[in-house]
Structure 1
Amino acid sequence: MDLNLSDEQKLLRESVERFVAGSYDADHRRKMANDPLGYSPAVWKQFAELGWLALPIPEEFDGLGGGAVEIGILMEAFGRGLVSEPYVATVVLGAALIDRCGSAAQKQAILPKVADGSLKLAFAHSERAARFDLAKVAATANKTAQGWRLAGSKIAVLDGHAADEIIVSALIHDHHGPSGRIGLFLVRATAPGLSISDYQRLGGGRACNIELSGAELPEDALLGDGHDALPAIEWAVDRAMAALGAEAVGIMQTLLDTTLEYTKIRKQFGRPLSANQVIRHRLADMAMQVDESRSMALRAALKVESPPLDRARAASGAKAKIGKCARFVGEQSIQLHGGMGVTEELEVGAYFKRLVAFDTLFGGSAHHYARHAQLGRTSVPA
């Protein structure tokens, strides 16, 4: 298998790295950290103009028809700049679920607006009692004469405060199929009965919790024909984990580069820190962990459209391995910077915080080691 990037992919990487290097400096990141919106609408508009919002959307809906590898190229560069725009929520999760589950009319109404930047999405699925189990949903959707009535609560909705439409998962109760199947519903952010409480995420960006108190929705709020959406949810989350893994690789590479440069200029007893053999070994270990993580993220991206079992094992393997490597690289970076590692001037702490947040999104390393092992047992014939 040829794992080298194509000419188009190389151009994409060069363009996004150049954009991030020129637009995301320390001052911009501090400004976004204190901004109640958490991201820049002007930068989001530039994302649309550059075609990044349209990248994975099918061509018939004004997209570019890209795949998970192209998303990974973007996300790795985003990690280098600690980008806080709602790309994962809108494009990687939201648009993917619309494309996978929506009707032709719903796709035509939504996907072109995502591509041009005029519509932002969020995906509300996690619940307090679920403990990262995607099949556990307590929110309900009851059929009414006018449409649907949703009730329940969701937590840790990525960038839900900025979304125009929120895709909410709920158990369907009607007379047209088995009770208890999971459906996906489009809910306007301004819909009566929906309340949003947002908060700042560790490492930048924002998330929110939502409460649904008998929210009344029209008939066409249900995505698609109402079949069980759990397989599509699992696919979208595995896809998001591959993208977030690539972002973590970009963060880890930045920490490695920053630490390497610091040990060259920081002197102790008249010699640079990098002249110490023990320090060199630690830097070599960091570099190895970054390379291993990059390989795992690429493998997860390449397996996104594979059969469900192969895709899930690749995604969980990447999430578990990258989470472990990310913590090692982050901790080593802070320790090798000494007291400077926790000051705001160097931003090492900000990058480390984003890695800590990555490790908990969609389940930590321990959860995904267990999931990977369980899937491995499933794949072995009895």
Structure 2
Amino acid sequence: MDFNLTDERQMLQDTLRRYLREKYTTNVRNGILDSETGFSPEIWSDLAELGVLGALFTEDQGGFGGAGFDIAVVFEELGRAGVVEPVLDSALLAGRLLAAAGKTEMVEDVISGVIHLAVAHGEPGGRYDVDHVHTQANGDALTGRKALVMNAEAADHLIVSARDGDTIAFYLVARGAPGLIIQGYPLLAGGRAGEVTLDNTPASPLGLTLKDYEDATALAVVAINAETLGAMETATGLTKEYLMTRQQFGRPIGTFQALAHRMSDMLIEMEQARSAVINVAGNVDAANRDLHVSASKNLIGRIGRLVAEEAIQMHGGIAMTQEYELAHIAKRITMADHRFGDTDYHLERYIALSTN
């Protein structure tokens, strides 16, 4: 089997990597982290212009990619550079839900970078249970609370889940709608999220089901895994460079056998992580998709923890300074495990799916 990228994906990867290398420095990111929105409108516009957002959608949806490997290519580069812009939540997850709902014009606006979106599904106490929805729909009005809504403050529209009788449905809520309150806060890994309260808030039904959300979430897991892989590549690269630069007893500390072995273990685990991303990207449309999703998410979470801890320990105190690239990257790797189910959740899910 040929795992090489197609010419189009290779071109996308090269273009995005070159742009981020030139534009997305540590100082630029730190400035974005201190901003009120948690992302750069200029960077967002550039990503749209470069076709990065369009690569997340199929041709039928107005894009030019949309397959698992297209998504993996984009997010690996975003993770490698530590990009904090909400591409995953505002473009991929929300955009694919709108595409499933047949909102063609809105999807076109997402691809062109005109609008920002947020998905409000999780609720207090729900953890990773997708069925834990207590927000109520009374006709075309919603009442309830949503927790950890990524990009909530900057979103022009929110896609909100609510119970309509015995079923879970999804609704579109406009920014500034009556009864909508958003309390925002910065995230440890960068960007911003918010706690959302709805009090008889007007909403438009999207005609989506929980299965549509699960389909979009499967793509989001491909994205977060690829993003973590890219971040781990940066962490291992920084560690290798540091070990060959820092000197002790007249020679680089990377030549000491104990540290060389630890570095070798990191690189071996990285190869397993890459295989996991390739596997889930290639099986995102398979009948046993969920099995591959949970297997990859569990493995990436475990390897990510190892890489982050080893990179920090082999660097020493410098690894925790805000001015050094690894500080942000290690946070991203660690916190990625808590998105869309952590290692324990997906281990249990994998076992349950395997025994059915």
**Bin of the TM-score, shorter chain as denominator length:** over 0.9
Instruction: State the partner residue of 2:314.
Output: 336
Instruction: State the partner residue of 2:198.
Output: 212
Q: Which of residues 131, 138, 142 in structure 2 aligns to 1:142?
A: 138
User: Deviation string for 1:334-379 (max 9, x for gaps)?
Assistant: 110112222223232211111121011122111111111111111x
1:168-187 aligned within 5 A? 168-172=160-164, 179-187=165-173
Instruction: State the partner residue of 2:174.
Output: 188
Q: 1:21 Cα shift?
A: 0.5
The answer on whether the counterparts of 1:200 and 1:206 sit within 8 Å (CA) in structure 2 is yes
5+ unaligned residues in a row in structure 1: which ranges?
173-178
The answer on whether the counterparts of 1:76 and 1:248 sit within 8 Å (CA) in structure 2 is yes
Q: Which of residues 152, 158, 169 in structure 2 aligns to 1:160?
A: 152
The answer on whether the counterparts of 1:141 and 1:151 sit within 8 Å (CA) in structure 2 is yes
1:1-382 aligned within 5 A? 1-100=1-100, 102-103=101-102, 107-143=103-139, 148-172=140-164, 179-217=165-203, 221-224=204-207, 229-307=209-287, 310-378=288-356
SS in 2 for 1:118: coil
Q: 1:60 Cα shift?
A: 4.5
> Percent of aligned pairs with the same residue?
35
Q: 1:77 Cα shift?
A: 0.7
Structure-1 separation of matches of 2:319 and 2:63: 42
5+ unaligned residues in a row in structure 2: which ranges?
none
Structure-2 separation of matches of 1:194 and 1:255: 40
Q: 1:61 Cα shift?
A: 4.7
Over aligned residue pairs, what C-alpha RMSD do you find?
1.3
Structure-2 separation of matches of 1:26 and 1:223: 40
Structure-1 separation of matches of 2:145 and 2:131: 15
Paired residues in the alignment total 356
Structure-2 separation of matches of 1:57 and 1:349: 32
Structure-1 separation of matches of 2:258 and 2:161: 51
The answer on whether the counterparts of 1:238 and 1:315 sit within 8 Å (CA) in structure 2 is yes
SS in 2 for 1:55: helix
Q: 1:109 Cα shift?
A: 2.8
Structure-2 separation of matches of 1:270 and 1:58: 56
- What TM-score does the superposition give when structure 2 sets the normalisation length? 0.97
* Amino acid of the structure 2 residue aligned with 1:38: G
Q: In 2 relative to 1, CA 164–376 (structure 1 residues): closer, same or farther, beyond 3 Å?
A: same
Q: 1:295 Cα shift?
A: 1.3
- What TM-score does the superposition give when structure 1 sets the normalisation length? 0.90
Structure-1 separation of matches of 2:183 and 2:94: 20
User: Deviation string for 1:269-321 (max 9, x for gaps)?
Assistant: 112111111111100111112121111122112122122xx111111111111
Structure-2 separation of matches of 1:63 and 1:190: 29
Q: In 2 relative to 1, CA 339–58 (structure 1 residues): closer, same or farther, beyond 3 Å?
A: closer
The answer on whether the counterparts of 1:57 and 1:65 sit within 8 Å (CA) in structure 2 is yes
Q: 1:54 Cα shift?
A: 1.6
Structure-2 separation of matches of 1:26 and 1:129: 35
Q: 1:187 Cα shift?
A: 0.5
User: Deviation string for 1:97-131 (max 9, x for gaps)?
Assistant: 1112x14xxx2231111111111111111112222
Structure-1 separation of matches of 2:178 and 2:269: 48
Q: 1:332 Cα shift?
A: 0.4
Shifted more, 316-325 versus 1-10: the winner is 1-10
User: Deviation string for 1:248-271 (max 9, x for gaps)?
Assistant: 011100010000010001111112
* Amino acid of the structure 1 residue aligned with 2:225: G
SS in 2 for 1:36: coil
Structure-1 separation of matches of 2:61 and 2:339: 30
Structure-1 separation of matches of 2:60 and 2:265: 46
The answer on whether the counterparts of 2:58 and 2:67 sit within 8 Å (CA) in structure 1 is no
